[in-house]
A = this chain, B = another copy of it.
Amino acid sequence: MQITLKDIARMADVAESTVSRALNDKPGVGKDTKRKILKIAQENNYRPNQLARGLAANKTNMIAVILSEMDSPGNIEIVKSIEKSADEKGYQIILCNTNNQEEKEKNYLSLLESNQVDGAIFIGGKLVGSHLLRASFSPKNNIVLVNRLAEENFFTSVLTDYSQGIFKAVKHLVGEGFKNIALICGHQNDLIEEEKISGYKLALREAGLEVKPELIFPTKADRQAGYDVFLDIIEKDVIPDAFISTRELTTIGLVEAIKMGGYFIPDDFAVVGYGDNILTSIIDPPLTVISEPVGKIANYSFEFLLKLINEKMNEQQIEVLTPELIIRESSISKYN
């Protein structure tokens, strides 16, 4: 069995409270007493029981990182980055995956409400369930939302300006001379995707090009969906000369399908993908991508959460980060 405060108290012949104070560097402990206590603790390899501590002090030094899906390389990068910062500040992270299920989100929210964690960072997630989130809005619940949109947002948030990202991509492709730019995106009910679509439309209009609804292809977010949609597309009447794909894995599938079909990128089809991760950098040809600043996202979100926990935040903060367009071979025009 693990040694406890009580044991140390007995050994040092002092009260538990004194031991607690000594161990937590609180004032009001004699120098010698403190030294003696620390020595005993050290020798016996004392580890405070975090459960008891959490129960008594209402502070667990744990935060929940709640992912809407674990399949996005970008999100995993964010988690890694948060883990690093958290560790530096002495926080443990609990990794949760909701798989976009509202029910699970509710469960994980209870980690917060039962004081099991000091705060939570929600990464991604559809609008669905946001009323639940909203119900748990309270100064007591330290919540940071990452890339999660809602019509009304009371929460401290870190957002990516998706519209801007797609806008840049379209502008670039138009500049390269592409005329029929297709958008492979998510479904409209996803606010994030809706924003991307609006960026797409805006850029086309601004370039004086017609928005053709038949060039917008909503699909699921996985690799297979990207593959399948291309097979559909080449059967259609209007064949695009360029693609913008708004999700990471879908992009990969799309590229694979194009190549499998015997077509060349960018000669037959230009491609702008999503996410500057190892995947898009090693795929052949190297992909032009809209790149979320994952490092910054992680930093802001953890910093914000820390401020919330330490009650250093006096008003709602929303940080909007702009994605970059990283231009590589896949979108360089044959027209030039």
Stretch of A20-28, A48-56, A166-174 lying at the B interface: A48-56
Contact B114 A97 (CB under 8 A): no
Q: Are the CB atoms of A114 and B70 closer together than 8 Å?
A: no
Across the interface, which residues of B come within 8 angstroms of A62, CB to CB? 94
> Which residues from chain B contact A223 at a C-beta distance below 8 Å?
278
**Inter-chain contact A80/B87, CB cutoff 8 Å:** no
What is the distance, in angstroms, from A173's C-beta to the closest C-beta of chain B?
23
**Which residue from chain B places its CB closest to the CB of A52 in the assembled complex?**
B55
Minimal beta-carbon separation of A291 from chain B (angstroms): 18
Question: How far, in Å, is A27 (CB) from chain B's closest CB?
Answer: 26
A133 proximal to B (CB < 8 A): no
Q: A92 to chain B: closest CB distance in Å? A: 6
Is A288 interfacial (CB 8 A cutoff)?
A: no
Per the bound structure, the CA–CA distance linking A116 and B1 in Å amounts to 14
Any chain B CB within 8 A of the CB of A127? no
B83→A116 contact, CB < 8 A: no
Q: Per a CB cutoff under 8 Å, which of B54, B83, B113 touches A95?
A: B83
- Residues of B near A40 (CB, < 8 A) are none
Taking a contact as CB atoms under 8 Å apart, the answer to whether A49 and B115 are in contact is: yes
Q: How large is the interface on A (under 10, 10 to 19, 20 to 34, 35 or more residues)?
A: 35 or more
* Cβ–Cβ contact A47 & B114, under 8 A: yes
Expressed in whole angstroms, the minimum distance between the Cβ of A114 and any Cβ of chain B is 5
Which partner residue on chain B sits nearest A95 by CB separation? Answer: B95
Which single residue of chain B is at the shortest CB-CB distance from A3?
B113
Oligomeric state, in number of copies? 2
B114 near A49 (CB under 8 angstroms)?
yes
Selecting from A188-196, A279-287, A302-310, the interface stretch reads A279-287
Q: Are A83 and B70 in contact (CB under 8 A)?
A: yes
Residue pair A92, B92 in contact (C-beta under 8 Å): no
Q: Is A147 close to B, CB under 8 A?
A: no
Give chain B residues whose Cβ lies under 8 Å from the Cβ of A283. 282-284
Q: Which of B96, B115, B282 contacts A252 (CB 8 A)?
A: B282
User: Is A110 on the interface with B (CB-CB < 8 A)?
Assistant: yes
Chain B residue nearest in CB terms to A48: B114
Identify which of residues 266-285 in chain A touch chain B, using a CB-to-CB cut-off of 8 Å. 278-279, 282-284
Contact (Cβ within 8 A) A47 B282: no
Q: Smallest distance from the beta carbon of A130 to chain B beta carbons, Å?
A: 18
The reply to whether the CB of A2 lies closer than 8 angstroms to some CB of chain B is yes
Within the assembled complex, what's the spacing in Å between the Cα atoms of A104 and B88?
A: 11
* Residues in A246-276 with C-beta less than 8 Å from chain B: 249, 252, 255-256
A223 to B279, CA, bound (A): 13
| CB<8 Å pairs between A and B, sample of 20 | A2-B113, A2-B114, A48-B114, A49-B55, A50-B114, A51-B54, A51-B115, A62-B94, A76-B76, A87-B97, A92-B94, A92-B96, A93-B94, A94-B95, A95-B95, A252-B278, A255-B282, A256-B282, A278-B279, A282-B282
User: 12 additional contacts, CB 8 Å, given A50-B116, A76-B76, A249-B278?
Assistant: A49-B114, A49-B115, A51-B114, A51-B115, A62-B94, A70-B80, A79-B95, A92-B111, A93-B95, A279-B279, A279-B282, A283-B283
The 5 closest A-B pairs by CB, nearest first: A284-B284, A47-B110, A95-B95, A49-B114, A51-B54
